[in-house]
Amino acid sequence: MTRVEEQHSPGRLVLAGTPIGNAGDATARLVDLLTTADVVAAEDTRRLHRLASTLGVVPRGKVLSYHEHNEVERTPELVDAVRSGSTVALVTDAGMPSVSDPGYRLVRGCVEAGLPVTVVPGPSAVLTALAVSGLPSDRFAFEGFAPRKPGERSRVFAALAADERTLLFFESPHRTAATLAAMAEAFGADRPAAVCRELTKTYEEVVRGSLGELAAWAAEGEVRGEVCVVVAGSSGAPNRQPGELVEEVLGLVSSGYRLKDAVRLTADRGGVPSRTLYDEVVVRRRG
């Protein structure tokens, strides 16, 4: 167990949430931090300067880039800055650092060095999408970006199909249609969902419906902007007969699952004994 007493530590790392679209959502604490931090580490320094200009402030401290391509090399430098007494502010392009954005390595570096880490909270695309989706929000899980490769994507969705929590995913606009189609196949075309795009921006849009409906909508035209897909959790489907699940097992096997893993996963989802389903699959494959 580690405990950091801030008053005994010379500097600190501050994770600062930035607006996800509307600059008016910037907090007073963020504005103050940008003008007082000794170092501001930014995912994109140009975006930081544009935000600061919009907010009418000029960063007083040294501005450094900190992104996925240099965070390994730059983390020790920033940890040393905190150790030497500097207040280091970490900001990303939008939302909270380290949540699908750079920051985790720097937080771990400071924690392992016994240096204080604190937060200036701000807007969150995940929580904003969850709140506006109209889907249950008492239990949820953020899954980040779905895999790009179809086979890996299918395996991830198959493993999540029985999850009863509301699921949230980030997605790029040009992959949204394919992702929704894969979700409809894995979760069921009738599963309720919502596509939230351009949240807090001028062209904010939330499209709600079943996964089948949303897949058809996305296939009809180009989806644009920042996208978050929210999917209702499993409602606990009624038990099915083993013979009805054989094709699902074979589909998972064709996408890369081992037979035993595919049987176990499908049996759990369908509420049937794994051994019985395994025997059904073996008979089908022999036939």
Question: H-type helices in 113-225, by residue range?
Answer: 125-133, 150-160, 176-187, 211-220
Give the CATH number of the domain where residue 115 resides: 3.40.1010.10
Strand partners, 174: none
Q: What number of CA atoms fall less than 13 Å from residue 9's CA on the CB side?
A: 22
| Residue 217's CATH number | 3.30.950.10
Residue 119 in domain: yes
Asked whether residue 4 carries a pLDDT value surpassing 60, the answer given is: no
pLDDT band (50, 70, 90) for residue 1: low
Range of the domain at 199: 126-231
What is the share, in percent, of the chain residues with pLDDT greater than 70? 94
Is pLDDT above 90 for 42?
Answer: yes
Residues 97 and 27 in one domain: yes
Q: What residues contact 276, with CB distance under 8 A and at least 6 apart?
A: 242
pLDDT band at 9 (very low <50, low <70, confident <90, very high): low
In a domain, 56, yes or no: yes
- Does 7 score more than 50 pLDDT? no
- The reply to whether 119 and 29 lie within a common domain is yes
Whether 34 is in a domain gets the answer yes
Strand duo 166-171 + 227-231: pairing: antiparallel
pLDDT band at residue 6, thresholds of 50, 70 and 90?
Answer: very low
Q: What is the pLDDT of residues 47-93, one digit of tens each?
A: 999 999 999 999 999 999 999 999 999 999 999 999 999 999 999 99
Closest by CA to 170, choosing from 81, 246, 231, 107, is: 231
The reply to whether 86 falls in a domain is: yes
The answer to whether residues 10 and 119 belong to one domain is yes
Total domains in the chain come to 3
pLDDT in tens, 239-266: 567 777 888 888 888 888 889 888 888 8
CA angle, 223 as apex, 222 and 225 as ends, to 5°?
130
pLDDT category, 169, cuts 50, 70, 90? very high
pLDDT at 34: 97
pTM over 0.85: no
- Residues in Cβ contact with 262 at an 8 Å cutoff, skipping those fewer than 6 apart: 249, 250, 252, 253
Task: Give pLDDT, residue 85.
Answer: 97
Q: Which of 94, 123, 152 is the last residue of a domain?
A: 123
The rounded mean pLDDT for the chain is: 91
* Predicted pLDDT of residue 222: 85
pLDDT attached to residue 238: 54
Mean pLDDT along residues 130-145:
95
Query: Within a 10 A sphere around the Cβ of 237, how many other Cβ atoms?
Result: 12
